Structure 1
Amino acid sequence: MRGMWTAGRIVLAAALAWSGSAVIAAGGGGGGGSMPSASAPSYDPAEDYRKGIEALGAKDYKAARKALDRVVRAVPKDANSNYLAGLAHAGEGDVKRARGLFEKAVKYNADLVPAQGELGVAHAKLGDQAKAQAQLDMLKQKQAACGGSCAQAADLQTAVDAVSAAITAGPQARMESTPGAAFMSAAAGDGAYLDAVALINEHRYEDAIAALTASQSAFGPHPDILTYLGFANRKLKRYAMAEDYYRTALAIAPKHRGATEYYGELMVERGDLAGAERKLAQLDAVCDFGCQEAEELRRWIAAARASGS
C-alpha cells in the first residue's frame, strides 16, 4: 500500500505550481495531480479569499468585507478567514464585529499571532481594558517562550507593541486593516506549498504541516492544501484532525478525488470498510473512465479484506 502520493502525481502538482497560474492559485487541483475541472467546487472560497486580500491591500474595505464574509459563511472554522474578515470590518469602522471575528480566529488557531494582537487592540478600543491587558500578558508570555528566535518573533513583537499602544490610547486606538506579507504574497504561498510537497516525500510531516499552514495564509481554505494537511496529520496518527481536514475539503469541493481517496484510506485504517466502500463508490461515479485514486482505494480495501481487518 502506498505511503504517499506517487512520484508522477507529485511531479504534476509541482509542474502546475511552477506554471504561470499556480495550481493553488487556480483553485481546483485534484489533490494529487488531476485536472482542475475534476474537482472544481461550485463555490470557491479560495477565490474570494484572494479577492478579499487584494481588496484589503487596496483599502477597499467594503469589497473585502463582502468577499471575506462569504468565505466565513462557507468555511466558518477557518481561522485565517475570520482574521481577515475582522480586518475588513475594522477598516469599515465596525469594531464590535471585528472583535467577534478576531475571537473566532484565535479560537480556531491560538497560534495566529496577528489575530491575537488585533483582538487585544479591539478590546482596548471598545473600552475593555482588563481584557486588553489579559491579551497583552498572554502575548508577552508567548514572546518570553519564543526568546526572540522562533518563527513568530517578529509577529509577536508587532502584536505586543500594538496592544501596548492601544491600552494607552483607549478608544482612540488605531486598528490595523491590512494583513502582513504572509497573507499578501501569492509567490510565498506557492513556495511554501512546493516545500510541503517535498517535505511530505521526505516523511517530514510536522515540517510539512508548518509549510502548508504558511501556504494557507496566502491561499485560504483551498481543498488541495486541506487534503495535504489531512494526509500529513493522518501519517502522524492524528486521525480526528485528518478527518476534519478531509471533510472540510469535500465540503468545499465534493468531487475532489484526492480528498475522497484519502478519506477512504483513513476509513480503512480505522477499520471502517463500509465507509471506505462508500468513498470508492463516489470515486467510481466521478471517474467515468476510471482513475488512479479509485484504483488505489480499491487496492487498500482489498488488502484490508484479505488481511481480515
Structure 2
Amino acid sequence: MRLLFAGTPAVAVPSLRALLQHPAHQVVAVLTRPQAPAGRGRRLTPSPVAELAEAAGVEVLSPDRPSDPDFVRRLVELEVDCAPVVAYGALLREPALSLPRHGWVNLHFSLLPAWRGAAPVQHALLHGDDTTGATTFRIRPGLDDGPVFGVLTERVRPDDTSGTLLARLAEAGAPLLVATLDGIADGSLQPQPQPADGISHAPKLTVSDARIDFGQPALAVDRRIRACTPDPGAWTDFRDGRLKLGPVTAEAGSPDGRLPAGELLVGKNAVLVGTATTPVRLGSVQPAGKKPMPAADWARGLRLESGERLG
C-alpha cells in the first residue's frame, strides 16, 4: 500500500523504520509536527520522525494543522491508501480523515478502551496498573474510540518509569502496526468495536501534576515520580527553588521511626524523606541549573542536616 506515516517523537521511530523496510508497503510521505525549540540554545529542531524520513529521502510535511488546505491538497495528490499514526500530536479532522482509502490507523500505547488520550503510559503507572499494552485502531472523530484491529500486552515492571515502559511499547508495537497494515492490505483483518465498559481517560500530565506531595503515602509518591519521569519531570520545593526528583525507593522504616511528611533524614550514603506512611530513599536529584546527581552527593555538597524539609 501507499502510506502516509504520521508521527513526531522518538517513540514513533521504530514503527516508521519498520515500514520503510517493508517490501509490500511504500511510505510516500511523512506528516509530523513543525520544528520546535530544543536544548539550552532553544534552536529549532526537526522531530525524530522528520530526521529519519529525510535520511531515507521521504517527503516531510509539517503543517501547523492537518486541516490546512495546502496539506489537504497534497494528501489528495499523494493518492494514499492508508495513513498509520504513532504519537503524531495533533487532532485529525475532516476532510483529511476521509482521504486515505483505508483510513487512518493509530498505534496507541494502552489496552483500549482503557486510557484514551495523550498520556496513557503515564496514567497506567500513576494508577498502579500491573499490565498495559498497545492497540491498533481506526481513527474516528472521537477520542481514541475507533474500532480495534489488534492488541499486545506488556507487564509493568516495579521499577518502570514512563520513559522505559514507553520505549518497550514502541519497539513491541512496531510489528503490531506492520501486521495490522498487512491484514488491511490483503483483506484478512476487520476492526471490531471497542467494549462499552472499562473506558478511562489519560489527559496530558502538566508541570503542576508533577509536583510531589510528600503528605501522600509512599506508594503514591513512588508512582507519581515514575509516571512523570522523564516528562514532565517530578519536582518539589526546596529552600527557595525547585528540586527535580528521580525515582525513589520505599524504606521499611527509619532509625527514628516514622519521619514527618517531607522531613529529611540525612545519612552518610542515603537521604530519606518522610511520607504519610513509610519514608522513601531519594535516588537522583537535580537542583535548578545543575545536572542530575545522587541524593547523597547533593546532601554532602550542601552540608544538609536532618530536619530540613522538602515541599
TM-score under structure 2 length normalisation? 0.27
Larger Rg: 2
TM-score of the superposition, structure 1-length normalised?
0.27
Higher relative contact order (CA 8 A, sep 6+): 1
The answer to which structure has the higher strand fraction is 2
